[in-house]
Amino acid sequence: MAQVFAQSPPATSRALVLGSTSRYRRELLQRLHIPFEVAAPQVDETPRPGEAPADLACRLALAKAQAIAYQFPGAVVIGSDQVADLAGEPLGKPGTHERATQQLRRMRGQTVIFQTAVAVVCAQTGFAQTELAPVKVKFRDLSNAEIEAYLQAEQPYDCAGSAKSEGLGIALLDAIESDDPTALVGLPLIRTCRMIRAAGVKVL
5-38: pLDDT as tens digits: 334 344 447 999 999 989 999 999 999 999 999 9
Question: What does the pLDDT look like over 134-184, one tens digit per residue?
Answer: 999 999 999 999 999 999 999 999 998 999 999 999 999 999 999 999 999
Judge whether 83 and 53 are in contact, CB under 8 Å: yes
Give the pLDDT confidence score for residue 8 in this predicted structure: 37
Domains recognised in the chain with CATH numbers: 3-199 (3.90.950.10)
Beta-bridge partners for 191: none
Residues in CB range of 149: below 8 A, 6 or more apart: none
The residue ranking higher by pLDDT, 131 or 2, is 131
Judge whether 26 and 20 are in contact, CB under 8 Å: yes
Give the pLDDT confidence score for residue 165 in this predicted structure: 93
Judge whether 157 and 97 are in contact, CB under 8 Å: yes
Judge whether 137 and 176 are in contact, CB under 8 Å: yes
Q: What are phi and psi of 193, to 5 degrees?
A: -60, -45
Question: What does the pLDDT look like over 29-71, one tens digit per residue?
Answer: 999 999 999 999 999 999 999 999 999 999 999 999 999 999 9
What DSSP element (H or E) covers 85?
Answer: strand 76-86
Question: What does the pLDDT look like over 86-143, one tens digit per residue?
Answer: 999 999 889 999 999 999 999 999 999 999 999 999 999 999 999 999 999 999 999 9
- In the predicted model, is pLDDT for residue 1 greater than 80? no
Other CB atoms closer than 10 Å to residue 34's CB: what's the count?
20
Residue 101, classified by CB atoms within 10 Å of its CB into exposed (0-12), middle (13-18) or buried (19+), is middle
Give the pLDDT confidence score for residue 92 in this predicted structure: 86
pTM, two decimals, is: 0.89
Question: Is the alpha carbon torsion for 181, 185, 188, 189 positive or negative?
Answer: negative
Compute the distance between CA of residue 26 and CA of residue 47 in angstroms, rounded to an integer.
Answer: 24
Residue 140, classified by CB atoms within 10 Å of its CB into exposed (0-12), middle (13-18) or buried (19+), is middle
In DSSP notation, 136-150 reads EEEEP---HHHHHHH
Residue 170, classified by CB atoms within 10 Å of its CB into exposed (0-12), middle (13-18) or buried (19+), is exposed
Give the pLDDT confidence score for residue 143 in this predicted structure: 98
Q: Which residues are catalytic?
A: 81
Question: What does the pLDDT look like over 77-91, one tens digit per residue?
Answer: 999 999 999 999 999
Amino acid at 142: L
Q: What is the mean pLDDT of the chain?
A: 93
Which percentage of the chain shows pLDDT scores above 70?
94
